[in-house]
Amino acid sequence: MKLRIGSRDSALAVVQSRLVMDALQAAHPDLELELVTMKTTGDKILDRTLDKVGGKGLFVKELDVALREGRVDLTVHSCKDLPMETPADLPIAAFLAREDPRDVLVLPEGALAWDVKLPVGSASPRRRVQLRERFPELAVQPVRGNIQTRLRKLESGDYGGLILAAAGILRLGLEHRIHRYFDPEELLPAAGQGILAVQCREDMDRSILECLRDREAEVCALAERAFVGALGGGCSTPTAAYAVLDGGVITVTGLYVDENEQIRRGAVTGPPADGAALAEELAIKLKEGKGWQER
């Protein structure tokens, strides 16, 4: 049996797809696997932030088309890059075990201290509002592109640092570039951050993909995505969600920014099976201004 794995062509996307392929090969040694890479619209438009050009869907458009047309059999994504509404004909078949979900600060090569007089680079509205709250003196400027492109821009001297996802840095073997980690209490991660998601066609026999599924990551990802989905998908306003399973209980922490740029946070706990429903309830309460904490 042969499976073609669709992936963006960035170094990180390829590494992530190889992780999926390695897991499939280990569980099914007779599988023939082929990696098919392509550049998405989101990879091509680098002069504007995603909220100005169509949102996260720009990172999956070409991959979805390839999947529907049968040119690939599976596609691999960073879960945080997936739109919150999943097409019925292209279900998410597996969520893989979560890598470190935190955000990190990366400094220019050789720098020993964070120069806060220079802007920090981040194209994420979620990071921008939280950074400005925690570091009011800090200027935040957009920076687009894959990790290598952003690192090259960092070395230009225009930025004092970059805020990136730890998962990508670690998967690329660039952990030596991490100056500091931000705990979720400091910068709440994006929904699904650190989790890989695999999509397939609806008519595919998904039993072969059971080896990829991590139940804890799945429960947390679905809860986090439900929180953002209840707020309209996070396209027009910054959102963040982070779920943790501990002792048979799920805790979902969410962040919503209202039209006045007031940051609202809240958390809910309950049985893991109710994670998505609890997350939706939390999102609605925060949007309505109920049960949130001001820091």
The catalytic residue positions are: 81
**Amino acid occupying residue 277:** A
CB 50 within 8 Å of CB 61: no
Burial (CB count within 10 angstroms: exposed 0-12, middle 13-18, buried 19+), residue 201: middle
Q: Is 179 exposed, middle or buried (CB count within 10 Å of its CB: 0-12, 13-18, 19+)?
A: middle
Contact indicator for 72, 38 with CB cutoff of 8 Å:
no
DSSP labels, 165-186: EHHHHHHTT-GGGEEEEE-TTT
In terms of Cβ atoms closer than 10 Å to its own Cβ (0-12, 13-18, 19+), residue 166 is buried
Dist. CA 186–CA 159, nearest whole Å: 21
Cα gap 109→259, rounded to integer Å: 38
User: Can you tell me the distance from the alpha carbon of 278 to that of 226, in angstroms, rounded to the nearest whole number?
Assistant: 9
CA gap 195, 168 in Å, rounded: 10
22 CB neighbour count, 10 Å cutoff: 11
The residue among 4, 6, 7, 1 whose CA lies nearest residue 27 is: 1
The secondary structure of residue 43, as a DSSP letter, is: H
d(CA 71, CA 279): 36
